[in-house]
Amino acid sequence: MENTFIAFDVETPNAANDRMSAIGATLIYNGEIVDRFYTLVNPETYFSPFNSELTGIYPEDVRDAPKFPKVWEMIENAMSRGVLVAHNAPFDMSVLAKCLKAYGIKWKEKVPYICTCTLSKRLFKELPNHRLNTMCDCLNIELEHHNAGSDADACARLLLCCMDKGAELEGALREYDMKEIKTLQKKTKR
């Protein structure tokens, strides 16, 4: 199993979920958090009142923020170094794939990822739900929910807690098809 994980989280400006208004990433190497990244992103599209209220990000906040291609230049190297990790990962993976596609940015066709929500369901069956805020409350992980930097950091810490609890990460590993914008089905053994 890889020894580098990139926990990341995105916030979106509207229900189309095809652009980012913020992204956070926390790099884990050999079981230690070694780097963090956070930025607002100018999504070049409209903001719905619901998303702005949820995330606290409004059009005026991102007016001078970098657009996605510039952000990608800043983070591509880190995002390419290991397994991506997110809480409810199919959502974050789809937003990333849609942004890359919208801007015509070529990257990997298939990307390995782990979903900490799925891991949490396996390891903490007794909890009523496995939302990020619930998991953070349970494990005393600091969280400013719907702040992409805080969510990414909390996801990284949750992954480390799951690893400490003996999570079998190989079985949790999935592959995301960035072109088709979907998780690939695991091959069954015959």
What are the mean pLDDT values of the chain's consecutive 10-residue runs (190 residues total)? 88 97 97 97 98 98 98 97 97 98 97 97 94 96 97 98 93 95 73
What per-residue confidence (pLDDT) applies to 42?
98
Structure token pair of residue 169: 């990460």
What per-residue confidence (pLDDT) applies to 188?
47
Beta strands at 83-86 and 32-40: parallel, antiparallel or unpaired: unpaired
DSSP letter for each residue of 24-54 = EEEEEETTEEEEEEEEE-B-SS---HHHHHH
What per-residue confidence (pLDDT) applies to 73?
98
Sheet containing 22-29: give its strands across. Answer: 32-40, 22-29, 4-11, 83-86, 110-115, 174-177, 182-183
Computed over every residue of the chain, the mean pLDDT equals 95
Regarding pTM above 0.85, the answer is yes
Beta bridge partners of 175: 112
Structure token pair of residue 53: 């209220």
What per-residue confidence (pLDDT) applies to 187?
55
- Of the candidates 74, 84, 59, which has an alpha carbon nearest to the alpha carbon of residue 155? 84
- Contact by Cβ (8 Å): 77, 187: no
What per-residue confidence (pLDDT) applies to 178?
97
Q: Which CA distances in Å does 183 have to 16, 79, 99, 109, 175?
A: 19, 18, 17, 12, 6
- Of the candidates 60, 29, 32, which has an alpha carbon nearest to the alpha carbon of residue 47? 60
